[in-house]
Amino acid sequence: MIRVAVFASGTGSNYEAIMRYTAQLTVPDIEVGLVICDQPQAGVIAKAVRWQTPVFLVERRQFGSKKAYEQQILSRLQQERIGFVALAGYMRLIGPTLLSEYYGKIINLHPSLLPAFPGLDAVGQALEAGVKVTGVTVHFVDAGMDTGPVIAQQAVAIDDDDDHESLSQKIHALEHQLYPRIIHQCALGEIYLDQGKVCRLVR
């Protein structure tokens, strides 16, 4: 059994999609063992309580440095025997402390077709730019902001009458389908990083 931690700062709809996905696995070879959350008001906390996932609430401002903050997270991950990390709306860059232990074992989900529209409010950026297609990206995490080798992407058409809410809904629906499957494959090592390249096991 591979134990996965989900890092989230917000609503947690992707966390919940991951929980629904793992709950229906016929061979339960992954489980979400921990939610790491840095925001006491985040909606993900109540969702985690409902799904009975332990939550580690850890606020950056309680630590003198990013290193100390991440060391606290790292010891909890190790204590809980976490083998894989999925960022799902976690609004911080991952620093060297976590990367040195989990590089190749941390992935992120971003609501655009990277490298287009990295950073905050990718949905708003796409609408502002007037593009007709955007999408979602899953990628391995490196030290950059929404950089790192791309694992999977799916496109979403932007219709003339789309606004921020309708486009966000379309993107979320796609994320909820895509992300749990990719987490599963990466956690099992069926998709992995080799010298910075994304590789897939052929069965």
Catalytic sites, residue numbers: 110
Among 19, 32, 33, 89, binds ligand GRF (CB under 6 A): 89
CB-nearer residue toward ligand GRF: 111 or 148: 111
Minimum gap (Å) between residue 26 Cβ and ligand GRF: 25
12-41 footprint of ligand GRF as x/- string (CB under 6 A): xxx---------------------------
CB-nearer residue toward ligand GRF: 10 or 149: 10
Residue by residue, DSSP assigns the chain as -EEEEEEESS--HHHHHHHHHHHT-SS--EEEEEEEES-TT-THHHHHHHHT--EEE--GGGSSSHHHHHHHHHHHHHHTT--EEEESS--S---HHHHHHHTTSEEEEESSSTTSS-SS-HHHHHHHHT-SEEEEEEEE--SSSS-S-EEEEEEEE--TT--HHHHHHHHHHHHHHHHHHHHHHHHTTSEEEETTEEEE---
| Closest CA relative to residue 118, chosen from 129, 132, 103 | 129
Contact criterion met (CB below 8 Å) for 45 and 16: no
CB-nearer residue toward ligand GRF: 71 or 153: 153
99-138 footprint of ligand GRF as x/- string (CB under 6 A): ----------xxx---------------------------
| 180 is an interface residue for ligand GRF by CB under 6 A | no
| 88 is an interface residue for ligand GRF by CB under 6 A | yes
CB-nearer residue toward ligand GRF: 64 or 180: 180
CB-nearer residue toward ligand GRF: 11 or 153: 11
| 83 is an interface residue for ligand GRF by CB under 6 A | no
Which amino acid, residue 27? V
Among 3, 11, 150, 185, binds ligand GRF (CB under 6 A): 11
CA atoms within 13 A on the CB side of 15: 33
Among 47, 86, 175, 191, binds ligand GRF (CB under 6 A): 175
Site residues (vs ligand GRF, CB under 6 A): 8, 10-14, 88-89, 109-111, 175
